[in-house]
Amino acid sequence: MRGITLTIFVLGLIAPPTFAEDLRQRCSPVDLKKTLGPVRDQDNLDWCYAFTAADVLSQALRQEKKGVLGLTKDGFSRNDVSPIQMAHEVQKKHPSRNLVDSQSFAGGSVAEALKSALSRGQICTDQEMDSRGGSNSPGLRRLQERADTERDESADSLTTFNRKLSEDEIKRYCRRAIDEFAITSVKDPVRSRYNQKKRPAAEEAKVNQQMREALDSALNQGRIAGIGYDSFFKKPAGAHASSIIGRRIINGECHYRIRNSWGLSCKGYDAPYDKQCQMGEIWVKEKELLPHVFSVDYIPASDPRAREWQRTTDEVNDKTYGRD
């Protein structure tokens, strides 16, 4: 009888973890909200990728102790990286794009903006290129005034002049030297082309797992991640970029915390997400989010010990953010 009891006891020790145990392990709470400045507002600019990239780089610099957040009395994060620069880092690679004609284009990628800015090795903050106010922001308005007064009629074309002026403005104000950190990028070529072709469920599950592992890798190192995804918060849905800044279990399911760059308002969300949104952020079930994600980008911690990031339980209870 003792032998049978011992056998049962040993088998109990080596039994695989239950679903609940596995969920608790892989969805342990991470809250990086306190490492970020206030929620940004892109206003009328189609620069979601630039605002997301600016948050990803700002937060990485802060976590690396390379740039400590400083706030003005109005609560604006003056020492965060300016989205205007991040937009330019993408625009300069396209012959028809420039900051002067800020509304002449749309679209870009978080990875492209980060790689170009890090390659430049210099950044400017929102104090130097203020992005508040969309196309009428102080940073873009100052550039437009330069364009109006310095326009060279002998230039080959207005676009060429505006491109040169945009680069000159960046060089004039973006002088803060930064290290060239590495970037981790995970991208699904089918989803990123918005290919409507159906793939086998097993392939979709594999991609979902890759995206989830990339998100978890970033969060476990104390880093937020920028995602490119098909925004399902409002109809019609379209390509969008946001930041993932947290993770936790709500009602027995793993959720990720999304920060948008639409300001503090939740008017841009359709039901039921309009009720779940709080001050520009929203908790979304992983099973709802992952099938829409086509890219994950983050800056890994330079110190391996950062993988031992001390995860803290979110101070806000489930009810504040809405229960599903």
> Residue 175 burial by CB count (10 A; 0-12/13-18/19+): exposed, middle or buried?
exposed
The confidence score (pLDDT) of residue 318 equals: 33
Pick the more confident residue, 216 or 197.
216
Close Cβ partners of 48 (under 8 Å, ≥ 6 residues apart): 42, 240, 241, 242, 261
pLDDT digits (tens, 9 = 90+) for 62-92: 898 776 667 776 777 778 999 999 999 999 9
- In angstroms, how far is the first alpha carbon of the chain from the final one? 49
The confidence score (pLDDT) of residue 271 equals: 87
Out of 1-10, 18-27, 199-208, 306-315, which region has the weakest mean confidence (pLDDT)? 306-315
Out of 134-148, 161-175, 197-211, which region has the weakest mean confidence (pLDDT)? 197-211
Residue ranges and CATH numbers for the domains of the chain are 21-32+182-321 (3.90.70.10), 46-177 (no CATH)
**What percentage of the chain has pLDDT greater than the value 70?**
81
Looking at the predicted structure, is the pLDDT value of residue 208 above 60?
Answer: yes
Mean pLDDT throughout 107-124? 92
The confidence score (pLDDT) of residue 312 equals: 37
Helix axes 138-150, 158-173, angle to 10 degrees: 130
Looking at the predicted structure, is the pLDDT value of residue 319 above 80?
Answer: no
Out of 16-20, 29-33, 287-291, 317-321, which region has the weakest mean confidence (pLDDT)? 317-321
Q: How many CB atoms lie within 10 A of CB 268?
A: 15
Task: Please give the single-letter amino acid code of residue 154.
Answer: S
Gap between the Cα atoms of 15 and 251, Å rounded: 25
In this structure, what DSSP letter does residue 34 have? G
Contact 301, 222 (CB under 8 A): yes
In what helix (H) or strand (E) does residue 240 lie, and over which residues does it extend? strand 238-250
Closest C-alpha to 300, from 125, 36, 57: 57
Contact 264, 279 (CB under 8 A): yes
Looking at the predicted structure, is the pLDDT value of residue 317 above 50?
Answer: no
**What percentage of the chain has pLDDT greater than the value 90?**
51
Task: State the chain's mean pLDDT as an integer.
Answer: 83
Q: Both tokens of residue 183? A: 């970037």
Q: Both tokens of residue 155? A: 């230039």
Task: Please give the single-letter amino acid code of residue 230.
Answer: D
